[in-house]
Amino acid sequence: MKKMIAADELAKLWIRLAEKSTLFLPVQDGPTVLYQPWKDGAQVELEAFNSAISPKDIFLPREETYLHYHCSGQSLELAAVEDDRAVTAFGIHPCDLKAIEMLDRVFMEQEPADSLYQKRREKTTVVALSCTKPDPFCFCGIFDVDPLDAPGADVMAHLVDGYMHLEARTEKGKALLEEAGDLLENSTIDKIEREIKTTDFGLDIKGLPEDLKSRFDDPAWDELYKSCLSCGVCTYVCPTCYCFDVEDYGHDAEGERFRCWDSCMFGHFTQMAGGHNPRPSRKERVRQRFMHKLQYYPEVYNEIACVGCGRCLRSCPVNLDIVQAIKALGGEKVEHR
């Protein structure tokens, strides 16, 4: 099913989709663009590259309350917090959707599946949007991301000459287009052709995961970490980082239990009761993060856990990003070394 709508009519589509679902869109929030629930008057920035934080927030929210507790005397009452409202994730770029599929493997393809994640994933319809003018930080090309197509999308959208073209690819996607049927016309284009240029930094990542298997004690780690500030920026903006913590908010008698993002770059991430810390310094923590992306994840799932979205390149306060790491570890074409 292929439909289209004039770009200046899109506000009508937002209103329609927000009637029956929580509609996430990239919106301008102060000086940043973030995926947030759409509200009337929100400034939607579909062509912003890239949102400050990845849309993983929709599936693995930075904070997710799942339990209320209430104690009185000897009794303890627990109530699950559930939200059955459907979600529409609109305007997800191909790199970010590929990253979400990487999270799927971690949260849903292992036994037991993570029920909170699975529920969010199942109730969400993803409308992916092909890229128009990627920013200078984009380097998705080396990770086999096609900026013009997101294979896992429920609906694949393209902005072309003042129109948004929408192609339903799943039952969920079809239902979404039918929901807005009266706002849409039949699409007039068959194939999208557009040249998208992204940089490759001269990287050559072939064989890197295998190569790194024996390089836990490589001298490169002794240098790479030095500029790291031990903040959590890279992990929080990254679309493929997924560590979380569980904590309570409230007091002894009443409160809620939530899970929230955590970061392996924090010193206390691996702090044990009794004081021992297996990753005592920045060196071990930086190594952990990059090894996770470049070796541990690929070892299990046969794919490097990076999609080239460029957020760490843009946001790391000291420019210690994954490209620098790959280069330091020898993942560069011979002529670039």
Partner 1 sequence: MAERNLEQLEKIREAVSQDLLSGRIELLLGWEKGHYWWQSRPLFASSEGDLARLTWDSFCAVNLSRYLLDELKDHQKVGVLVKGCDSRAFNRLLQDNMVQRDRVILYGLPCPGILDYNLLAAEAGSKLKGITEENGQVILKTEDGEIEVNRDEMLMVKCSECLYPDPVVYDQMLLEPLGQKEVPERFKAVNELEALSSEERFAYWEKELSRCLRCYACRQACPYCSCRECFVEQENPRWQGRAYQPSENFLFHLVRAYHGAGRCIDCGECQRACPVNIPLQELNRKLIKDINELYGDYEAGVDAEKEPPLLTYRPDDPAAFSEK
Give whichever of 249 and 301 is closer to partner 1, judged by the CB atom: 249
Measured distance CA(239)–CA(56) in Å, rounded: 6
Give whichever of 124 and 235 is closer to partner 1, judged by the CB atom: 235
Give whichever of 9 and 222 is closer to partner 1, judged by the CB atom: 222
Q: Tell which one of 144, 171, 185, 223 touches partner 1 (CB under 8 A).
A: 223
Q: Tell which one of 42, 315, 328, 332 touches partner 1 (CB under 8 A).
A: 315
Which tokens sit at 109? 């393809």
Regarding 329 and contact with partner 1 (CB under 8 A), the answer is no
Q: Tell which one of 178, 245, 254, 299 touches partner 1 (CB under 8 A).
A: 245
Stretch that binds partner 1, among 170-178, 206-214, 301-309, 317-325 (CB under 8 A): 317-325
Q: How far apart are CB 176 and partner 1 at their closest, in Å?
A: 29
Q: How far apart are CB 73 and partner 1 at their closest, in Å?
A: 25
Q: Tell which one of 6, 11, 32, 300 touches partner 1 (CB under 8 A).
A: 32
- Cβ atoms within 10 Å, residue 289: 22
My answer on whether omega of the bond before 26 falls inside 30° of 0, hence cis, is no
Regarding 260 and contact with partner 1 (CB under 8 A), the answer is yes
Regarding 313 and contact with partner 1 (CB under 8 A), the answer is yes
Stretch that binds partner 1, among 153-161, 181-189, 253-261, 329-337 (CB under 8 A): 253-261
Q: Tell which one of 6, 299, 319, 333 touches partner 1 (CB under 8 A).
A: 319
Stretch that binds partner 1, among 69-77, 116-124, 213-221, 316-324 (CB under 8 A): 316-324
Nearest to 103 by CA among 92, 112, 94, 114: 114
Side-chain-side CA neighbours of residue 291 (13 Å)? 19
- What secondary structure letter does DSSP report for 272? P
- 163 three-class SS: strand
Q: How far apart are CB 172 and partner 1 at their closest, in Å?
A: 29
Q: Where are the alpha helices (DSSP H) in the chain?
A: 10-20, 56-59, 94-107, 115-122, 171-179, 208-212, 220-224, 233-237, 282-291, 297-301, 311-315, 322-328
Contact 3, 9 (CB under 8 A): no
Regarding 187 and contact with partner 1 (CB under 8 A), the answer is no
Q: Tell which one of 10, 25, 34, 87 touches partner 1 (CB under 8 A).
A: 34
Q: How far apart are CB 311 and partner 1 at their closest, in Å?
A: 8
Contact 60, 51 (CB under 8 A): no
Distances (CA, A) of 231 to 38, 203, 241, 308: 30, 26, 14, 21
- What secondary structure letter does DSSP report for 207? T
Regarding 233 and contact with partner 1 (CB under 8 A), the answer is yes
Q: Tell which one of 77, 83, 144, 247 touches partner 1 (CB under 8 A).
A: 247
What is the 3-class SS of 14-79, one letter each residue?
HHHHHHHEEEEEEEEECCEEEEEECCCCCCECCCCCCCCCCCHHHHCCCEEEEEEEEEECCEEEEE
Nearest to 114 by CA among 123, 104, 124: 104
Contact residues for partner 1, defined by CB under 8 A? 29-32, 34, 52-53, 62-63, 136, 201, 223, 226-227, 229-233, 235-237, 245, 247, 249, 258, 260-261, 263, 266-268, 282, 313, 315, 317-321, 323-324
